[in-house]
């Protein structure tokens, strides 16, 4: 059975805590390994390694850092399948979905390779007689990355690639549910030529999170996970005078107008709701149909498509989605289906009790696709994030009523509208109170050269993730005013420019 330890100062090290946690293969429902849980001393060792490396790394030119990032990029492109396999075996998403995740992570690394341009400051010549003014972007120091189980490669690349190319060093605490891919990435960075200590990985639980958010040498914390933990990390980081970007949960709505192409819309909705077993913070979990006729047509088309979905073990390339990540999470999602039924919603398709025919996977954490109609905004199952292969249908009469649902929900991560009406799409995108909007796009995850971030209780942050927002988060600006001439007399009033 495999043991996953920490990666500190360029090498694997044993944990000093003596504590560990089981890692499972979700398709089989069996333990596949043990992951060490860091002690405070383990975290401190990782921070010390990063701090020592920073003293040299901060002075490495952006061009030299970008060249190493390009070597790392080449390794990622060569090893996509290797990383995807590790993801599938421990997370449960299908191998093709995992490869897609790796590719989206690679896009963030591609963006980071442009560091010499991205880190350019501003220059003003002769702002006053013989005086110039310019700004520089400087690294912060040691930063922390605390990343989720559902994207063990993509989300970390938003943080690790951008932070390190800006001249920082990183201590990364991945999810303890799927530690294999993060540790492999640390190996790749050493292989690419990054100095020891630029990236350190500590596996752990709340002990590690608390230490990272309080450690004096950590200057900034990046987090993606559930809203309660995001708020906890944000508040704790700020209490210890750190920058923080903490992305939380979601309840993403797709608004379907009467003029929408039902075939295209339901194809998009099918993948957005059930892909990756719904374990995406940008998954569509609520379809808001404008008009009963729209709802009936959507349900009729969806029902046929859902019945043809293939649910199987994660390494099946023909599977549409695989198991959920853990037995505990499976039980939690089932409890929300129970809740919706008790609240009076209509279960059109019930995924509870789903089992694969193959006895080999009898203990896997599988849940069939679930479709629930007649959901209302007052239901608790609507208010909370389900994070599973479950789609709720809400029926409304107007676009204005539809738009109020995502705008008034406590989460504000992503939303989309499907329509052939440009005026309706523009009204929606301009006025809906949500951070990321798709127009005939079901999962509007921005490309790496833009930025990712929700509103309201979906994000607690000074800056969004990746793109130029990421560059700004991981750097601080120094402004220099320079004059080269002699013979000035003393001035006792505030300086003015002339």
User: Same topology for domains 2-248+458-480 and 252-439, yes or no?
Assistant: no
Between CA 314 and CA 285 the distance in angstroms is 22
Apex 395 CA angle, 389 and 396, nearest 5: 135
3-state SS record for 375-418:
CCCCCHHHHCCCCCCEEEEEEECCHHHHHHHHHHCCEECEEEEE
**What are the structure tokens assigned to 359, written together?**
């006895």
Q: How do 284-290 and 390-396 pair as beta strands?
A: parallel
- CATH assignment, 252-439: 3.40.309.10
Listing DSSP states for 136-164 in one string gives EEEE-SEEEEE--SS-TTHHHHHHHHHHH
Paired strand residues for 222 = 145, 245
Q: For residue 281, indicate whether it is catalytic.
A: yes
CA–CA separation, 389 vs 285, rounded Å? 8
Catalytic residue among 113, 169, 281, 289: 281
Task: Give the residue extent of every domain in the chain.
Answer: 2-248+458-480, 252-439
Whether the Cβ atoms of residue 94 and residue 274 lie closer than 8 Å to each other: no
User: How many CB atoms neighbour CB 133 within 10 A?
Assistant: 17
Tens place of pLDDT for every residue, the chain, 498 residues? 899 999 999 999 999 999 999 999 999 999 999 999 999 999 999 999 999 999 999 999 999 999 999 999 999 999 999 999 999 999 999 999 999 999 999 999 999 999 999 999 999 999 988 899 999 999 999 999 999 999 999 999 999 999 999 999 999 999 999 999 999 999 999 999 999 999 999 999 999 999 999 999 999 999 999 999 999 999 999 999 999 999 999 999 999 999 999 999 999 999 999 999 999 999 999 999 999 999 999 999 999 999 999 999 999 999 999 999 999 999 999 999 999 999 999 999 999 999 999 999 999 999 999 999 999 999 999 999 999 999 999 999 999 999 999 999 999 999 999 999 999 999 999 999 999 999 999 999 999 999 999 999 999 998 999 999 999 999 999 999 999 876 667 777 777 765
Architecture of domain 2-248+458-480: 3-Layer(aba) Sandwich (3.40)
CB 153 within 8 A of CB 87: yes
Chain-centroid distance, C-alpha 290:
30
Q: Give bridge partners of residue 136 from the DSSP assignment.
A: 478
Q: The pTM is what?
A: 0.96
Question: Which candidate, 288, 298, 223, places its Cα nearest to that of 251?
Answer: 288
8 Å CB contact between 297 and 286: no
Query: What angle, rounded to 10 degrees, do the helices at 62-78 and 80-91 form?
Result: 70
Whether 458 contacts 435, CB under 8 Å: yes
Query: In terms of DSSP H, where are the helices of 35-194?
Result: 40-57, 62-78, 80-91, 95-112, 115-118, 154-165, 180-192
């Amino acid at each position: 059975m495999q043991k996953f330890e920490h990666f500190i100062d360029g090498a694997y090290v044993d944990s000093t805590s003596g504590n560990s946690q089981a890692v499972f293969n979700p398709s089989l429902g069996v333990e596949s390994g043990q992951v060490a849980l860091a002690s405070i001393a383990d975290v401190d060792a990782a921070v010390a390694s990063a701090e020592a490396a920073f003293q040299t790394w901060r002075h490495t030119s952006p061009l030299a850092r970008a060249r190493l990032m390009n070597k790392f990029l080449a390794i990622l492109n060569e090893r996509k399948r290797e990383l995807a396999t590790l993801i599938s075996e421990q997370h449960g998403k299908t191998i093709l979905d995992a490869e897609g995740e790796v590719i989206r992570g690679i896009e963030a690394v591609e963006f980071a390779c442009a560091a010499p341009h991205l880190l350019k400051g501003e220059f003003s010549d002769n702002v006053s007689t013989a005086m110039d003014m310019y700004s520089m972007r400087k690294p912060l120091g040691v930063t922390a990355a605390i990343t989720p189980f559902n994207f063990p490669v993509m989300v970390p690349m938003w943080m690790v690639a951008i932070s390190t190319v800006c001249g920082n060093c990183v201590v990364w605490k991945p999810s303890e549910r799927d530690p294999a891919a993060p540790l492999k990435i640390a190996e790749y960075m050493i292989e690419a030529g990054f100095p020891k200590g630029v990236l350190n990985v500590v596996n752990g639980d709340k002990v590690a999170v608390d230490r990272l958010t309080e450690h004096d040498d950590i200057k900034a914390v990046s987090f993606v996970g559930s809203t309660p933990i995001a708020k906890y990390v944000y508040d704790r980081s700020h209490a210890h005078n750190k920058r923080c970007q903490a992305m939380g949960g979601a309840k993403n709505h797709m608004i379907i107008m009467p003029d929408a192409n039902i075939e295209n819309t339901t194809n998009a909705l099918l993948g957005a709701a059930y892909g990756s077993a719904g374990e995406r913070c940008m998954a569509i979990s609520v379809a808001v149909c404008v008009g009963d006729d729209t709802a009936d047509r959507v349900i009729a088309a969806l029902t046929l498509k859902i019945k043809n979905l293939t649910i199987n073990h994660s390494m099946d390339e023909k599977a549409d989605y695989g198991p959920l990540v853990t037995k505990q999470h499976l039980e939690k999602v089932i409890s929300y289906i129970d809740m919706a039924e008790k609240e009076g919603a209509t279960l059109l398709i019930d995924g509870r009790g789903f089992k694969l025919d193959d006895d080999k996977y009898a203990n896997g954490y599988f849940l069939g696709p679930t479709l629930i109609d007649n959901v209302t905004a007052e239901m608790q199952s609507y208010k909370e994030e389900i994070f599973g292969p479950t789609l709720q249908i809400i029926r409304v009469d107007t676009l204005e009523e539809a738009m109020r649902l995502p705008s008034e929900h406590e989460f504000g991560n992503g939303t989309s509208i499907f329509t052939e009406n440009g005026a309706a799409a523009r009204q929606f995108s301009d006025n809906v109170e949500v951070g990321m909007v798709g127009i005939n796009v079901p999962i509007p995850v921005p490309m790496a050269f833009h930025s990712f971030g929700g509103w309201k209780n979906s994000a607690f942050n000074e800056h969004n993730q990746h793109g130029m927002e990421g560059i700004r988060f991981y750097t601080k600006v120094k402004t220099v005013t320079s004059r080269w001439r002699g013979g000035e007399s003393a001035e006792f009033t505030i300086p003015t420019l002339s």
